Amino acid sequence: MTAVLDTTTSHRALPQVNGGVGGLLRGEWVKLRSLRSTWLSLAVGLVLMVLFGWLFTATAESGGPGGDGGGPPGLSFTDPVGLSLAGYRLAQLAIGVLGVLLVTGEYSTGTIRSTFAAVPRRWPVVAAKAGVFAAVVFVGSLLTGVVAFLIGQASLGDLGVGLGADGVVRALLGLALYLTAIGLFGMALGWLLRSTAGAISTLFGLVFLLPVLGQLLPASWGPDVVRLLPGEAGAQLFSLVGTPDALGPWSGAAVLLGYLVVAFTAATVLLRRRDA
């Protein structure tokens, strides 16, 4: 019994010996920035957001992808901000997948064992990894959103609006928060399932597939289900043109936050019960 108590005490002291919270954050930052796939996935997703925003805005008035000829559902040149940010649909997939890979990659290489050996309480690792990842994604998404907006509005010409227009700042901040939340949701699924294929499939199903299938549900209750899905609810954070079936910005944010709280809580509980 004494040996067990001594071992536990020494393990719990390791985070302080290795630098405490600061050391843990630095360690997760080193892991994140040392992976080429991190920056490649993030860059691809954010660049595609700019390119598709430009495509939708540049062709909107002439009836192209963003006009009457088809494009993002519910968007037209009458929603200039929404058109310029519509490329988020691809960016969220890349960022969500990156969140999954940052966790499942450690399981596949076995490095998670050494991490948990140094921090046996485990939840600080989850929090540190999520915090570092969230900071990187938020900053990158915010800057990219501004670029996509400026390029998109320039493409719209006289139909475009400026950064000072009503609701634009909220939309840009909301977009960055939304993409960060989707990345964190992918990370939580990675902790929960410990399977790259399983976590990515679940993320894709919840964010992309279910909203489409939800259109097939009865009109009496189908819209209520669809609007409570994480992607549909969270997207209201940066939507300036609401629909009758959609939640408000703060309600949508609360629903998305609820998904994150439940997912990370479940992941933390399971981490305590499962071997690395």
The band of 271, judged by pLDDT with boundaries at 50, 70 and 90, is confident
- Pair 69, 88: CB distance under 8 Å: no
How do residues 170-223 score in pLDDT, each as one tens digit?
A: 999 999 999 999 999 999 999 999 999 999 999 999 998 888 888 787 777 778
pLDDT at residue 9 in the model? 36
- Among 43-47, 75-79, 199-203, where is mean pLDDT lowest? 75-79
pLDDT at 66 over 80: no
Over 90: is that where the pLDDT of 146 sits? yes
Predicted pLDDT at 230: 92
Least confidently predicted of 68-77, 152-161, 237-246: 68-77
Instruction: Give 117's pLDDT tier (boundaries 50, 70, 90).
Output: confident
Decide if pLDDT at 15 tops 50: no
Write down the pLDDT at residue 182. Answer: 96
Write down the pLDDT at residue 249: 86
Q: What is the mean pLDDT of the chain?
A: 82
Question: What does the pLDDT read at residue 110?
Answer: 81
pTM of the model: 0.85
**Structure confidence by residue, pLDDT tens digits, 223-246:** 888 888 999 888 888 888 767 677
- Give pLDDT, residue 71: 52
- The residue among 52 and 215 whose pLDDT is bigger is 52
Q: How confident is the model at residue 5 (pLDDT cuts 50, 70, 90)?
A: very low
- pLDDT of 8 > 90? The answer is no
Which pLDDT score is estimated for 136? 94
Higher pLDDT, 162 or 96: 96
Q: Residue 75: is its pLDDT beyond 60?
A: no
Band the pLDDT of 61: cuts 50, 70, 90.
low
